[in-house]
Structure 1
Amino acid sequence: MGIIGKILFIVLLILTSAFFSMAEISLAGARKIKLQLLVDEGNANAQKVLDLQSNPGNFFTTVQIGVNIVAILAGIVGNDVFTPVLLEIVGNQTLAFLISFTCVTGSFIEFADLIPKRLAMVYPEKTAVSLVNPMMFTIKLLTPIVWIFSSVADLVFKIFNTPHSREDMITHEDIFALVDAGAEAGVVHTREHHL
């Protein structure tokens, strides 16, 4: 694989990592009420997101496996591509490695993590619904590895008597908090707020 091929491979790794980052944040941030409205409108993907939210173990295991594999590959390939080129420019192996490491790591932090996660936080339901099918395919693809890691995690949860999924029951306090927040934001008019 030539330098151009390796650079394209790094770009592919960044996009792959961005996919996992967006999927992770959007699933965690997608609101059940909005997803249920989409389901009522006939959106099958919204139901898949709700199903994943009710049992997220395999989903988050897949995300962590994917992110870590990508990070390891990026470190290996990135160092192999940029360090020799930078060595010719700066003439120092350690300095060339540090610049290469900083550039690759910085690219991943910005384009594979920060920007994708911020986008997913702004549009959690839309992002989750868009990414649920490729994410479910990835879960199936990595099933044997996911099963091993999930089983270990489940065992730890069982030992410490911790629930495996979150509770999404909406209390009166939640409703009042939403109405108050809506009134402060100007979404709910003052008259409606006091009814």
Structure 2
Amino acid sequence: MNDIPLSILIGVLVLLLLLSAFFSGSETALMTLNRYRLKHLVKQKHRGATKAHQLLKRPDRLIGLILLGNNFVNILASSIATVIAIRVGGDEAIPAATAILTILVLIFAEVTPKTLAALRPEKLAFISSWVYAPLLKVFYPIVWIVNTISNVLLRIIGVNPKKAKIDSLDKDELKSIVSDTDHLLPARYQNMLLSILDLESASVEDIMTQRKEIIGIDLEDSVEDIIEQLRNSPHTRLPVYKKNIDRVIGFLHIRSVLAQINHTEFDKQSITDSLSKPFFIPASTSIHKQMQIFKTEKLRIGLVVDEYGDVQGLVTLDDLLQEIVGELVAEEPDIKMQKDGSYLVDASVTVRELNRVTHWDLPTEGPKTLNGLIIEYMETIPEPGTSIKLHGQIVEIIQRDENTVKFVRFHPEIETP
């Protein structure tokens, strides 16, 4: 190299630094590509994205090629820098040249290109994929040897590269992605998507109308009382039973008897003749599965029963749909936000509904209603005026009756200075 002009050596050194920057930046760009956007671009037949996607199918080969090139140019740059140092200042200049080259590589061939690639990965990744595709074919034997040795070492420590799962998301990760789309989706659509993702993990027991709140027709009542109930009912379908809801005999669509209730011959037999068969739902049935059952059976209402066949509650198709579209169609009369930031809550509300409205994270694995959650926590029915910290939330008991909590107030958390 003594015959090569110093200017050419410096020019080659600069070129090698640029190549090192290319290898470093393209590695970061390709590895930080959004895999789901990449797949979308591949479907759109973007040629650069298609090349990058093919390379990323075997990331071990791609990384092997990039590191092979990067290490080669860095070692060659170090050798040339040593030659330049000796020719300029003798052996004493070698430590200074090493320090200068380290700083140049760090700034211009590592930090800067990698930062740029991390911020704008697509452009560099798609361009570099056109370079790496033919290079991989040329240097495949060397890359294969390097990867084979590397894979053997990985297997020794219990890692099988061929079985590694790439681009897989679990439900919680997908929910995090949806939650981070504030700039793309309105909050109500975000809530709908998150509700859909929760359908499989929630059961009908989480959203049902509780047994004591079921409104139905008791055939033991007088005909006059039944007619009055039919005229004033806010619901179009009602369960019909004798004495208690466990003795249900069917469901009545009020529209089928409205025309008859003004006739003198209208009696209880007219009601029983208009009933549809009762439909029972195991309490553990998932919301997602129950929606499919309602669709298949062409039903809109069912009674939720426990393992002993006792009625626990009632679920309608509207309840299931509300789990998805919630805020778009449903009012929240049981959860009222006050001017001071507190919430006045009917304790019969389900924990899932409370979490959905307030964006809290109260546990849903145990009791299904707020009343049940408070009683389980206190192990008694607390008196009005009692305040507790319920899973991080400050709760004041406002009203109770003999066996349940009726109303509570959630106070905003006091910020300590």
TM-score relative to the length of structure 2: 0.42
- Equivalent residue number for residue 145 of structure 1: 142
Distance (Å, rounded) in 2 between the aligned partners of 1:17 and 1:77: 14
User: In percent, how many aligned pairs have the same letter?
Assistant: 26
Distance (Å, rounded) in 2 between the aligned partners of 1:126 and 1:163: 32
- Indicate yes or no: 2:62 matched with 1:59: yes
Among 113, 117, 142, which residue is 1:116 paired with?
A: 113
- Indicate yes or no: 2:81 matched with 1:84: no
Return closer, same or farther for 1:177/1:147 CA change in 2, 3 Å cut-off. same
Distance (Å, rounded) in 2 between the aligned partners of 1:54 and 1:129: 15
Question: CA-to-partner distance for each residue in 1:73-99, whole Å, 9 max, x for gaps?
Answer: 1111012113432x2xxxx843x2222
- Equivalent residue number for residue 179 of structure 1: 178
Return closer, same or farther for 1:166/1:28 CA change in 2, 3 Å cut-off. farther
How far the C-alpha of 1:155 sits from its partner, in A, is 1.8
Distance (Å, rounded) in 2 between the aligned partners of 1:4 and 1:112: 21
How far the C-alpha of 1:109 sits from its partner, in A, is 1.1
How far the C-alpha of 1:182 sits from its partner, in A, is 2.7
Return closer, same or farther for 1:166/1:113 CA change in 2, 3 Å cut-off. farther
Distance (Å, rounded) in 2 between the aligned partners of 1:53 and 1:62: 12
Distance (Å, rounded) in 1 between the aligned partners of 2:155 and 2:47: 32
Among 123, 129, 133, which residue is 1:132 paired with?
A: 129
Higher relative contact order (CA 8 A, sep 6+): 1
Question: CA-to-partner distance for each residue in 1:149-177, whole Å, 9 max, x for gaps?
Answer: 11111222333442314421222212211
> Which protein has the bigger helix share?
1
Does the aligned pair in 2 maintain the 1:21–1:116 contact within 8 Å?
yes
Counterpart of 1:19 in structure 2: which amino acid? F
- Equivalent residue number for residue 29 of structure 1: 32
- Equivalent residue number for residue 312 of structure 2: none
Q: Which runs of 5+ in 2 are unaligned?
A: 193-417
Counterpart of 2:35 in structure 1: which amino acid? K
- Equivalent residue number for residue 196 of structure 2: none
Off by >6 Å, runs of 4+ in structure 1: none
For residue 181 of structure 2, give the secondary structure of its aligned residue in structure 1.
helix
Q: How well do the aligned residues superpose, as a CA RMSD in angstroms?
A: 1.9
Q: How many pairs align?
A: 187
For residue 45 of structure 2, give the secondary structure of its aligned residue in structure 1.
coil
How far the C-alpha of 1:118 sits from its partner, in A, is 0.7
Structure 1 residues 66-75 or 49-58, which shifts more? 49-58
Question: CA-to-partner distance for each residue in 1:49-104, whole Å, 9 max, x for gaps?
Answer: 2222221111111112112111211111012113432x2xxxx843x222211211
Distance (Å, rounded) in 1 between the aligned partners of 2:47 and 2:155: 32
- Equivalent residue number for residue 72 of structure 1: 75
Counterpart of 1:78 in structure 2: which amino acid? A
Distance (Å, rounded) in 2 between the aligned partners of 1:13 and 1:6: 10
Does the aligned pair in 2 maintain the 1:34–1:125 contact within 8 Å?
no
How far the C-alpha of 1:134 sits from its partner, in A, is 0.3
Distance (Å, rounded) in 2 between the aligned partners of 1:74 and 1:53: 29
For residue 182 of structure 1, give the secondary structure of its aligned residue in structure 2.
coil
Does the aligned pair in 1 maintain the 2:85–2:97 contact within 8 Å?
yes
TM-score relative to the length of structure 1: 0.86
Distance (Å, rounded) in 2 between the aligned partners of 1:161 and 1:169: 21
> Which protein has the bigger strand share?
2
Q: Which one has a bigger Cα radius of gyration?
A: 2
Q: Which runs of 5+ in 1 are unaligned?
A: none
